[in-house]
Amino acid sequence: MRNKIAWIVILLSWLTAGAAADEKTKALEKNKLLEAEMALAKTSASYLIMNFSEKFISLKSRGIILKKWEIRKARFWGQYVPIKAFGLFKKSAWFPPKRKSIVPGKEAQGDVDLQVLELKEMPSRYRLTFPDGIHISIRNRTRKFFPFLGNVGSSLGRLTLLPLKALWFSIKKKRFTEIELVMADEKDSKGLYWSFLEGQSCIIYRPIK
């Protein structure tokens, strides 16, 4: 009986120690996130926070949220991303938007919202490239037949190829991170593309625990 009690006490001690270690890790990660954002908030430039813990992407300026988008689903391959600011290197899409030419002296007819017109022209499927081998593919959730088939085909391809790619980069001891991010709807994915400018800073926060 005493031996059983002793083993129970040891097991509870291990579990308690493990839980305490997890809490310490979470606290350290949140501290790093806070420090990284504080550095960005001191500047006049806007920035983005991709928070995979809270499942939101926020466009912020001086700590104030300007716009927020919901992350419906996300998949990860490769290494964890360090909690620090990364500048967006490139946005790439099959059909990138083309800005309309404005003729000097010609006024717009009627009440035209130029921002909405530009937003409609943004792609809903695209890829974001950051330094250190970080890539994020964006698409939106859809029930339309052909886009749905495209999403399924793309996901199957990723599930097959990306684990192999992650293994290859690991063997070569090179950094590699691939994130597949699904937005709630087409408006959100287009809005993120429109708002996220090349060179703009972003913190990608995915807790280890």
- pLDDT for the residue 167: 62
Q: Is a pLDDT exceeding 60 seen at residue 108?
A: no
Asked if residue 164 belongs to a domain, the reply is yes
Cβ(180)–Cβ(156) under 8 Å?
no
- pLDDT for the residue 80: 87
Q: Is the dihedral of CA 8, 10, 13, 18 positive or negative?
A: negative
Domain range holding 145?
19-98+115-205
Long-range contacts: 25-31, Cβ < 8 Å, 24+?
Answer: 25/208, 25/209, 26/207, 26/209, 29/83, 29/205, 29/207, 29/208, 29/209
Residues 171-194 have a mean pLDDT of 87
Asked if residue 1 belongs to a domain, the reply is no
Residues 124-139 have a mean pLDDT of 94
Residues 187, 43: Cα–Cα separation, whole Å: 29
Asked if residue 89 belongs to a domain, the reply is yes
Q: Is a pLDDT exceeding 80 seen at residue 55?
A: yes
Q: Is a pLDDT exceeding 50 seen at residue 45?
A: yes
Q: Is a pLDDT exceeding 60 seen at residue 87?
A: yes
Asked if residue 122 belongs to a domain, the reply is yes
Asked if residue 168 belongs to a domain, the reply is yes
Query: What's the pLDDT band for 153 if we cut at 50, 70, 90?
Result: very low
Residues 63-71 have a mean pLDDT of 95
Q: Is a pLDDT exceeding 60 seen at residue 41?
A: yes
Q: In whole numbers, what is the pLDDT of the chain averaged over residues?
A: 78
- pLDDT for the residue 154: 55
- How many structural domains does the chain have? 1
Q: Is a pLDDT exceeding 50 seen at residue 112?
A: no
- pLDDT for the residue 96: 82
* CATH code of the domain covering residue 137: 2.40.440.10
Residue 130 phi/psi, 5° resolution? Answer: -120, 170
Asked if residue 74 belongs to a domain, the reply is yes
Q: Is a pLDDT exceeding 90 seen at residue 135?
A: yes
pTM over 0.75: no
Asked if residue 50 belongs to a domain, the reply is yes
Q: Which residue has the higher pLDDT, 17 or 193?
A: 193
Render 32-79 in DSSP notation, one character per residue. Answer: HHHHHHHHHHTSSS-EEEEETTTTEEEEEETTEEEEEEEEEEEEEEES
Asked if residue 141 belongs to a domain, the reply is yes
